[in-house]
Amino acid sequence: MTSHEDAGLLAPGSAGSPAEAATGDAAFLQAMLDAEAALTRAQAACGLAPEDAARAVTEAADARRFDVRDLALRARSGGNPVIPLVADLTAAVPRTAAEYVHRGATSQDILDTAAMLVAARTLDLVLGDLGRTAEALARTARAHRDTVMPGRTLTQHAVPTTFGLKAAGWRSLVLDARDRLAAVRSTLPAQLGGAAGTLAAFHAWADAGTDDATGPGTGTGTDDAAAPGTGTAAPSRGGDTGLRLAAAYARETGLAEPALPWHTLRTPVADLAGALAFTAGALGKTAADVLTLSRTEIGELGEGSGGGSSAMPHKANPVRAVLVAAAARRAPALAAVLHGSMAAEDERPAGAWHAEWETLRDLLRLVGGATRDAAELAAGLRVHPVAMREHLGLTDGLIVSERLAAALAPRLGRARAKDVLARAAERVRAEGATLADVLAEDPGLAGLRLRELTDPTRCTGSAGPLTDRALDRR
């Protein structure tokens, strides 16, 4: 029997998903190492470190060379895993490269950048699943454009609709989620600010002269230093060292270059949290409808491969929908924690930043699992048009009362038409007669095509054209 610290035993919604692997401890460790290596390469590109040091750090930055559990245990002393990681990475490179590991950075620079790298890699997977979900729902909506079913409001039959329009609505939400996540993905930024967000350490290294560098661009000790006795920064000549380095760092990581260090300006995390929570909710709408419409008493939908029960062999539970619905319930609370962390004091908050790490990982993993399940759900969904058609008749024609009210008003007046229909509905419920038969007894309605007016398949309004419009969206 094997053991694992995070085997996903209580998380079937994300267990085994690509997002689980993309957000695991090994993935975060590799992202931190990628951030460290990118920093050394960026400094080399700016002439602040030797090229061979950048190559050495990049070669050593392989998560397989480090003990994740040992790093986790040692992280307790300093409160974050970057501190022991820097020590181990420094020991893993040649002595000539050791002094360039993590030089000028702070733990938050590395951990925030790593979080954005993990988010970017996970979102690429999520966006792929959303694309597959949208494609499957488009096929379903197109196939059932004119499949009439009861529309339900406040749990009761309202007026007829079509399953094509319902599926097109699900797809619209999926595309909304895709667009939001794609926008966030394109703007995920690297973080580099140094101890307090001023990039001062990099200026100090540049000002130290050319001894520590092998290329042009190093400072001379005057370009970016403070003017003596003034307390204000001297004007930069030949470009600002810190800004050049921040731009190079963003390029090396493949992330966006932020306008400012965002160590306490947590817009990137908040935007990511909001888009992820929206995605979970959007998928949750589909799950909620599938769960309702696949009830035994309704049976209008079914999952392609329902799950079993430990006690009842006959059951085929809508498991994919269940797991997506569970994710939709959890995601808003996780996003709330991340939004709450925006109220961060000073230049590094005590606790607010730390509260983000596991929360963001959980949210990425949760939504990643939900999108996997949603794609499987959409691809395997079984639609039962016969059950939908049968249910249109459960109210013996009352489902079209809105249309009848409009049809009777010109002949009877709005008030009398409403009264006639109300009394007819009472008789339908009490006697089991059809609405058309009851209305046919009223002499004032002679000549009306009551059978046609009470046919629910003729009462779907613009459902078809609305479905077409929704499917035009790519």
295 and 439 in a single domain? The answer is no
Q: Is the pLDDT of residue 230 over 50?
A: no
Question: Domain boundary residue among 365, 388, 411?
Answer: 388
Q: Provide the 10 A C-beta neighbour count for residue 186.
A: 10
Question: Domain boundary residue among 388, 421, 448?
Answer: 388
Strands 301-302 and 148-153: unpaired
Whether residue 318 contacts residue 325, with contact meaning beta carbons closer than 8 Å, is answered with no
Q: Is the pLDDT of residue 365 over 90?
A: yes
pLDDT average, residue stretch 29-47: 97
Q: pLDDT confidence of 237, banded at 50, 70, 90?
A: very low
311 and 454 in a single domain? The answer is no
Q: pLDDT confidence of 209, banded at 50, 70, 90?
A: low
The Cα–Cα gap between 237 and 197 comes to 21
pTM here is 0.90
311 and 163 in a single domain? The answer is yes
Domain tally, the chain: 2
Q: Is the pLDDT of residue 217 over 70?
A: no
pLDDT of residue 314: 53
CATH number of the domain that residue 165 is part of = 1.20.200.10
Q: pLDDT confidence of 137, banded at 50, 70, 90?
A: very high
Give 302-361 pLDDT, tens digit per residue: 998 755 555 545 557 899 999 999 999 999 999 999 999 999 999 999 999 999 999 999
321 and 410 in a single domain? The answer is no
Structural domain harbouring 312: 18-192+263-388
In a domain, 328, yes or no: yes
Give 100-121 pLDDT, tens digit per residue: 999 999 999 999 999 999 999 9
In a domain, 255, yes or no: no
371 and 413 in a single domain? The answer is no
pLDDT average, residue stretch 349-377: 97
365 and 267 in a single domain? The answer is yes
Question: Domain boundary residue among 388, 403, 418?
Answer: 388
444 and 305 in a single domain? The answer is no
CATH number of the domain that residue 425 is part of = 1.10.40.30
Q: Is the pLDDT of residue 420 over 50?
A: yes
pLDDT of residue 353: 96
Annotated catalytic residues are: 309, 348
CA 67 from centre of chain: 30
The Cα–Cα gap between 199 and 203 comes to 7
- Quote the tokens at residue 401: 């009362």
140 and 97 in a single domain? The answer is yes
428 and 279 in a single domain? The answer is no
121 and 51 in a single domain? The answer is yes
The percentage of residues in the chain with a pLDDT greater than 70, rounded to a whole number, is: 90
